[in-house]
Structure 1
Amino acid sequence: MKTIITALLILLTTHYGSCAKILGVFTSPGRSHYSLGRTLMKALAEKGHDVTLISSVGEKEPPKTKGTYRDIVITAVAENMKEMAKRGEMSMFDHGDMNPFTANAFLIRMLPIMMEPSLRDKEIQKLIHSNEKFDAVIVEQFMNDAEKALANHFGAPLIVLSSMGANYWVNTLVGNPSPISYIPMMSTEYSIPMTFLQRVENSLLFVMTEVLFKWFVYPGQNARIKKYIPNGPDINDVLYNASIFLMNSHPSINQAVPYVPNMIDIGGFHVQPPKKLPQDLQEFLDDAKDGVIYFSMGSNLKSAELPPEKRDAILGTFSKLKEQVLWKWEEDVLPGQPKNVKLSKWLPQQSILAHPNVKLFITHGGLLSTTETIYHGVPILAIPVFGDQKLNAKAAVNNGFGRMLPYNDITEESLTQNIQEILNDPKYRNNAKKKSEAFHDRQNTPMETAIFWIEYVIRHKGAPHLRVAALDLPWYQYYLLDVFGFLVLISLVSGCIFYYSIRAVLKKICKSKKLKQT
């Protein structure tokens, strides 16, 4: 009996000793961003950790888990977005024809403004002024660097989740090499390798981004820290403080690029096994003898907001197809709805893509949708509008499992041609299956990898040994400008010494000749 009690005490001690208090900060009002945060925090709670998730969405009923799961729902960011929408600042379809420079400036200007109210929300302020302690703070990277100061405030290691692959927002904060000679900036749609002119434009975009971040974004984030966090640290003590960056990417999805040790690929961690479909959807998919085309523009872009001419071109195309079409449409009625089109305001995308009758996914090219279609091996027709969508769409084209139709080029003719090309050429589905095989071929699941590294950081008190020395170097030392300057100076001095030495020798020779002649 005594042995049994001792064993139980050891088990209990082991369980509670490994249980950590983890704060997740995912304040973006976008449903896709919340999905990433909620999926990760729920998995940590199921592992036995006590988690708190700050978000703009929240759950009606928090999930039942082994550890505790607490929702803190803020409203300030969503309210700010509504005000911006009223002023006409958030209609993404209006920005589909932006050039890379304008699109880059738009994102850098709008995202910090959109996220500005988060720290002043009463719920976050209540938590800030509490006496709570956490073992780790996880913050999404979304132009919200001021929120990372919560890790400093709570005295916990900072873990950052990037909702996309390696990019400028991440590389500069971990000292990751990112040669602009072959890594396109996020707002472009360049193929690899880039042409000379594309490399010129990519270089100018990099310089523009550097200037805007250093002179606009970071000073603004620093002001937010000082305003909303008591004794808040300086932004420079926050930016380079992350123990690890969890990257929502993988070489099967994204371009292969260099990584420093504290950048961890977990792309696809949000993908769940297919769930049972509602009966009407199951019957619709099962009965489609010619297959199904699934059409969704994601959670941020709404199909119902498409301009009439674009909507009519899409309707005209769908009405001529023999395939059934499942369309995520956010209103009750679609004028001119063809008989082969089924509408729904919300659709279980992952379970739909898993159905064998789905032949094509027409998408905006968001990274989560791209990841899910690769997971299930379904070819895509991407209609990118903003952000990284063009880059993702171009990658699908380069990898042979999709085509890209620019939003401004949508006509009934162009849309029909692209759909028929994908449906009639088996290479697209074959390439999608190959990408899916590469995606699944891993030593551990993406979620297992994510949880391991989060617990690793907690065990090793921030794991400072993963940090590269580049973060401690001034920019001129990192780029070896001081070394180049020194070498140039030595070359000039040596050249001058050589010049004047030769000159002196020649003068002496000339003088000697003159003396002999006299």
Structure 2
Amino acid sequence: MRLLFLLLLLTLTHSYKILVYIPKFAVSHINFMGKIADTLVDADHDVTALISEMDSSLPDGTSKATIVRISPSEKANEMSNHFAETRGDIFDRDFGSYSEMIANARSNSLSFSRQCRKLLTTPGLVDQLKEAKFDAVIAESLDNCGVGLSHLIKARALIPVSSTLLYATAVFGLHPSLIAEHSAMEDGRFHDSIWTRLKTIYLHFAGQQFWSTMNGPLQAVFDELYPGTPNFDYLLSHAAVVFSNTDPLTDFARPTLSKIVPIGGITVSEPQPLDEHWDSILSLRPQTVLVSFGSIAKSAFLKPARKALFLKVCVIIIKPKQPIFASIPNTTFIWKYENLSDDFAKFNASKIDNVVLTDWMPQSKILADPRLSLFISHAGMASCQEIAHQGVPSLLIPIFGDQIPNAAALAHVGIAQVFSKSDLMDEKKLRGAIQEMLGDDQYKKRALTIRDQLAARPTSPVDRLVKNVEFAARFGTSKALRPLNLELSAIQFLGIDVFVIVVGPVVLVLAIHIYLFRRLISLHSFIKFRKFRKNE
């Protein structure tokens, strides 16, 4: 009987062959893609992780999938080293300026294209992947090398994934509103002014140029090595399903498509108890604040004046010198600081009783602890998902990229406040923002409500991921899920031809009437002039 049950179980389950393309260029992206791979392995699928090592110092992200590794190209290593050397000014650069956006796009595209060239020219690799007959390829959409590869190996389904917000939605047939889009809502509120709308339109078209610049060199690699490869926009428009690292409950409401599936929160672990060391730190004072700017914008890169100012704010909060701060309770600041041997760590921060510097901490466990009062973060998507799923009020200081709309979205739902990085030298503003967040329990109440809503969702991110991948792997691309407007030209989509047909005759008749009227006026004036001359 038991054997019969096992045989029946085997017939009811089907293992699909899935290739997950993981470019190693940022920890949060790697962890997200790796979690997808591991989750599918847990669902009994045959998963291969194709890891393109642009930066070999970073982790693999997956511990369960079969790994095929592409070593970093010399040029990719150069770009990685250059980026590491220039991160010191990351808190001061204006990443929203057009010149900065395009410069970043060019730098990234060169790194991606050179690494992709090495992947595609690795002897026998493409043929071996093709022979493996993968049912689906899951590819990080920021690096479209995986998108092009899915076409070359003839996988049944292409599944693009955005580790952040889903940008460039027009390639899927979803055109954003240029007026009510979220990109200019930096503080979480829509300012209905002409300047906000102008900025939104500017950001939209600048973003289009960014993606065009990103994809150009990469497309050229495919055109050279595999002539006839369709462009990335065409391949993406035929994707079977699209995953985004978002959740509607922590984002701006916006139009979407049936095949765009949010799986935000999939990387958030189940709450685990802290060890004795960290448990004792969170018990030191009535309130605890966690400070971390992520793996790229490290606190050690802050200018000395900014570090000193932050310490001063911490001291004032715990030992108020003015009546306005008298009601602020004692607070412990756990600050992720990556260089504990520098002068600031040894001679400045070490003298402050309520500041705990650490180069590593169990962030997910600390965020899940109810004793944590506030999280000061850079608003990376991984951190934002933890903030929402663990119910933690946050002061968000976005540095670049998707961090700006990430922060705005959490401020929009009322669980965070956005603080501009340009104000990090304003002691009064920084102190006031921390004081407000610690003193207003409405942030905590709203954060707990969002946490409970996310936990009560009818389907979990894991279920949405697994079921949609299985559906795509079985059936491939569904014509019904591909918007018809993708088959239209810009003239047809905007209705310009219809406008011309409907309005054209009216304009023509009106133009004829105006012309005849002007001729009549001219004729009348001429007749009057002739009569006048005749009378003379």
TM-score range, shorter chain: 0.7 to 0.9
SS in 1 for 2:376: strand
For residue 513 of structure 1, what is the aligned residue in structure 2? none
Match of 2:106 in 1: 109
Residue 195 (structure 1) shift? 1.7
Where does the alignment leave 5 or more consecutive residues of structure 2 unmatched? 319-329, 523-536
Equivalent position of 1:493 in the other structure: 508
Structure 1 counterpart of 2:337, one-letter code: W
Equivalent residue number for residue 267 of structure 2? 270
Secondary structure at the counterpart of residue 133 of structure 1: coil
| Paired position in structure 2 for 1:200 | 198
Q: Work out which of the residue numbers 189, 192, 203 in structure 2 matches 1:191.
A: 189
- Read off the aligned partner of 2:431 and give its amino acid letter: T
From 414, 433, 438, the counterpart of 2:448: 433
Partner of 1:180: 178
* Amino acid aligned to 1:332: L
Equivalent in the alignment of 2:337: 329
Preserved contact between residue 107 and residue 387 of structure 1 (Cα < 8 Å): no
Residue number in structure 1 paired with 2:21: 25
1:247-286 counterparts in 2 under 5 A?
247-285=244-282
TM-score (norm 1): 0.86
Shift of 1:281: 1.5
Distance in 1 separating the partners of 2:6 and 2:273? 39
1:445 corresponds to which residue? 460
Q: CA distance change for structure 1 residues 288 and 103 in 2, over 3 Å: closer, same or farther? A: farther
In 1, Cα distance between equivalents of 2:479 and 2:59: 33
Matched, 1:148 2:147: yes
> 2:469 corresponds to which residue?
454
* Contact residue 72 and residue 123 of structure 1 kept, 8 A: no
Summarize the alignment of residues 305-324 of structure 1 with structure 2, pairs less than 5 Å apart. Answer: 305-320=301-316, 321=318, 322-324=330-332
Between the aligned partners of 1:60 and 1:499, the Cα distance in structure 2 is 71
Choose the corresponding residue for 1:292, options 288, 292, 295.
288
**Structure 1 residue 146, shift from structure 2 partner:** 3.4
Superposed displacement of residue 92, structure 1: 5.6
Question: CA RMSD of the aligned region, Å?
Answer: 3.0
Task: For 1:47 and 1:276, locate their aligned partners in 2 and report how far apart those are by CA, in whole Å.
Answer: 27
> 2:335 is aligned with what amino acid?
W
Question: How many residues in Structure 1 have an aligned counterpart in Structure 2?
Answer: 495
Distance 1:254-1:111 versus aligned 2 partners, 3 A rule: farther
Counterpart-to-counterpart distance in 2, 1:494 and 1:316: 75
Listed as ranges, the gaps of 5+ residues in structure 1 are 64-68, 508-518
Partner amino acid, structure 1, of 2:77: E
1:54 corresponds to: 50
TM normalised by structure 2 equals: 0.84
Q: Which residue of 1 aligns with 2:162?
A: 162
SS of equivalent to 1:260: coil
Aligned mates of 1:121, 1:384 — CA distance in 2: 34
After superposition, give the CA deviation of every residue in 1:59-83 in whole Å (9 maximum; x if it has no partner): 59933xxxxx212334427624433
Name which of structure 1's ranges 102-111 and 461-470 shifts more when overlaid on structure 2.
Answer: 102-111
Which of 442, 463, 478 pairs up with 2:493?
Answer: 478
Specify the code of the residue in structure 2 equivalent to 1:362.
Answer: I
Query: Are 1:58 and 1:73, in contact at CA under 8 Å, matched by a contact in 2?
Result: no
CA distance in 2, matches of 1:153, 1:261: 27
2:389 is equivalent to residue 375 of structure 1: yes
- Tell whether the 8 Å contact from 2:289 to 2:331 is kept in structure 1 after alignment: yes
Match of 2:527 in 1: none
Identity of aligned residues (%): 25
How far 1:457 moved relative to its partner? 0.9
Structure 1 pair 61/185, CA: closer, same or farther in 2 (3 Å)? closer
Is residue 243–residue 464 contact of structure 1 (8 Å, CA) maintained in 2?
Answer: no
Q: Structure 1 counterpart of 2:242, which letter? A: F
Which amino acid is 2:148 matched to? A
One-letter amino acid of the counterpart of residue 306, structure 1: L
Aligned with 1:243: secondary structure? Answer: coil
Query: In structure 1, what is the Cα distance between the partners aligned to 2:236 and 2:185?
Result: 22
* C-alpha distance in 2 between matches for 1:418 and 1:456: 47
Change (3 A) 1:456 1:80: farther
* CA distance 1:108–1:41, change in 2 (3 Å): same
SS of residue matched to 2:138: strand
Distance 1:186 1:271, change over 3 A: farther
Contact 1:58/1:72, CA 8 A, preserved across alignment: no
Compared with structure 1, are the counterparts of its residues 187 and 211 closer, same or farther at alpha carbon in structure 2 (3 Å cutoff)?
farther
- Distance, in Å, in 1 between the alignment partners of 2:135 and 2:301 is 44
Q: Aligned residue for 1:41?
A: 37
Structure 2 distance, partners of 1:62, 1:204, is 42
Residue of structure 2 in register with 1:393 after alignment: 407
Offset at residue 349 of structure 1 (A): 1.5
Residue in 1 aligned with 2:132? 132
Aligned partner of 1:219 in structure 2 is 216
Could you tell me how far apart the structure 2 residues matched to 1:431 and 1:254 are? Answer: 14
Aligned equivalents of 1:71 and 1:404: distance in 2?
40
Pair 124,252 (structure 1): closer, same or farther in 2 beyond 3 Å? farther
Distance in 2 (alpha carbons) for counterparts of 1:445 and 1:92:
39
1:93 equivalenced with 2:107 (yes/no): no
Shift in Å at residue 355 of structure 1?
A: 0.6
Quick one: structure 1 residues 374 and 212, their matched pair in 2 at CA, closer, same or farther if it must change by over 3 Å? closer
Q: Amino acid of the residue matched to residue 423 of structure 2?
A: D
Stretch of structure 1 that moved more, 40-49 or 264-273: 264-273
Q: Is the 8 A contact 2:182 2:252 kept in 1?
A: no
Tell me by how many angstroms 1:413 deviates: 3.1
Q: Equivalent residue for 1:514?
A: none
CA, structure 1 residues 210+31, in 2 after alignment: closer, same or farther (shift >3 Å)? closer
Partner of 2:528: none
C-alpha displacement at 1:174, in angstroms? 0.7
Alpha carbons 1:100, 1:188 under 8 Å: kept:
no
2:404 pairs with 1:404: no
Q: Is the 8 A contact 2:377 2:383 kept in 1?
A: yes
Instruction: Report the 3-state secondary structure (helix = DSSP H, G, I; strand = E; otherwise coil) of the residue aligned with 1:360.
Output: strand
| Counterpart in the other structure of 2:368 | 354
3-state SS in 1 of match to 2:240: strand
C-alpha separation in 2, matches of 1:350 and 1:89: 29
CA contact (8 A) 1:100 1:187 kept: no
